[in-house]
Amino acid sequence: MSNKVKRELEKIEIPEELHNRAKLGVMQAKKESEKKNQIADNQIPTSPLNKKVAYYKRILIVAAICLTIVSTLTFTPALAAIQEVYNKIFTSEHIDDTGVRMAVISGKGQALDQTFYDKKYDITVHFDRVLTDDKETKLLLTYQSEETNLENHYIDLFEGVSSINLIVESGQKVPLDNVGWGSSYYDSKENKITEALSFASIKEYADQEIRLEIENLTIWNDSGMESLQTTWPLEFKLKPSAVSDRETVEVNKEFTFKGETYNIKQVEFSDLETRVVVTGSDTKLLTDESGMQYRVMSKLEHQFLNARKNSKEYGYSVDDEKSGVFLQSANEKIDPIFSKGEVEGAEDEYVMTFAPVEDRQGSILKVGEEIKIPLTK
């Protein structure tokens, strides 16, 4: 936790009744934490970094308990301040996935609050939250170190050596494929990485105890790709709060753009995203002389990516000065989620991913400056 966030916490005036009720909860949590720490101390030596993490976790417990209790009280400026600080802790504009930020700010998903210490590399891993629906899972985590320089380190499930596996009851590892690229940000001051991993759905395991294992960090540098061989385990019961549904609406509407004809097959609405699935006269797979199939970027995809910009600080974001492809919902522009590039659909399909929308019935696809198609049946 940064000093700025700590100062914000200290400035919050909490009503006496709320303070007393929260303190009782913290005392109970502290007793349970001390028992767990005694067990942990007998197994793994505690580094100064672990002590800092434990201290800050107690502060976070106070904030979390305050939020839970005060939700039953009248809305006050104090509540707004607590909520603002809480959101600052668990969200970041550096995460270039609008769906993730919206979900955490609105309190969706299952809070994990588990810490794993990788003794070999002195890396403290904190698992924050998990969300899953019919097609994808989001696992939010941070990791930092006092000894290992984590710059250029990634849990790269897309094209790196990293992987995430589900361990089933038989002990067999089931690989979970990536969904898009995921989102990552490196804080050089704290030598800390924040990741929003995106991989296959685990919704079918709801209400079950499961174990996930992250294997290997991918290191991208000037000489190419290297790896840090390690395994980070995570065990938890997948609660209903982590699981959400995905609504699919068949659209089947055609439009023409730059001489090509496209058909909007369907739109998928979820708490994490909005997917628009299209086929077109230039989205088909092609075959070369050797029989190998390949895909050429369609004119629609060119238009979609035209508004994309990239920076080290904020990843992929929207260039508002350029035209592109957007959604409109409740008279608001809904931006693409560019970090979900290369999400594969069925053969000949092109998938465009946008932030979640609230007004699903009134959603409109806007291509360039003139084309507008209602995403309804």
The string over 3-22, giving b where at least 16 C-beta atoms fall within 10 Å of a residue's C-beta and e elsewhere, is eebeebbeebebeeebeeeb
- Residue 76 banded pLDDT, cuts 50, 70, 90: low
Q: What are phi and psi of 59, to 5 degrees?
A: -65, -40
According to DSSP, the residues that pair with 336 across neighbouring strands are: 354
Higher-confidence residue: 259 or 86?
259
| Nearest one of 118, 310, 329 to 127, comparing CA atoms | 118
156/275 Cα distance (integer angstroms): 23
pLDDT at residue 280, as a whole number:
96
* Largest Cα span, the chain: 77
pLDDT in tens, 148-192: 999 999 999 999 999 999 998 888 899 999 999 999 999 999 999
Q: Write down the CATH number for the domain with range 93-244.
A: 2.60.40.1640
Helix orientation angle between 48-70 and 77-90, rounded to the nearest 10 degrees = 140
Closest among 218, 349, 348 to 277, alpha carbons compared: 349
Assign 90 a pLDDT band (cuts: 50, 70, 90). low
Domain 247-374 has CATH 2.60.40: yes
Find the angle CA(347)-CA(351)-CA(357) to the nearest 5 degrees: 150
pLDDT digits (tens, 9 = 90+) for 344-362: 888 899 999 999 999 999 9
Beta pairing partners, 250? 266
What is the model's pLDDT at position 108?
Answer: 94
At 88 the pLDDT is 54
The per-residue pLDDT for 77 is 61
Residue 347: the pLDDT is 84
pLDDT cut 70: percent of the chain above it:
76
The ranges assigned to domains in the chain are: 1-90, 93-244, 247-374
Has residue 10 got a pLDDT over 50? no
As a whole number, the mean pLDDT across the chain is 82
pLDDT (0 to 100) of residue 20: 43
Q: Do domains 93-244 and 247-374 have the same CATH topology?
A: yes
The pLDDT, as a whole number, for residue 159 is 92
217-269, pLDDT tens digit by residue? 999 998 899 999 999 999 999 999 999 999 999 999 999 999 999 999 999 99
Burial label for 228, CB within 10 Å (0-12, 13-18, 19+), is middle
For residue 137, is pLDDT > 90? yes
| pLDDT (0 to 100) of residue 47 | 40
Residue 92, pLDDT score = 78
Q: Facing residues of 373 across strands? A: 365
249, 274 Cβ separation under 8 angstroms: no
Using pLDDT thresholds of 50, 70 and 90, give the confidence band for residue 25: very low
Structure-model confidence comparison of residues 313 and 144, the more confident one: 144
Contact present, 128 and 112 (Cβ < 8 Å): yes
Give the residue, 264 or 46, on which the prediction is more confident: 264
Q: Return the structure tokens found at 328.
A: 């409109």
Which has more pLDDT, 200 or 94? 200
pLDDT digits (tens, 9 = 90+) for 116-136: 999 999 999 999 999 999 999
Contact (CB, 8 A) for 235 and 266: no
Q: Which of 28-37, 42-51, 367-376 has the lowest mean pLDDT?
A: 42-51
Higher pLDDT, 4 or 146: 146
Q: Pairing mode, if any, of strands 192-199 and 209-221?
A: unpaired
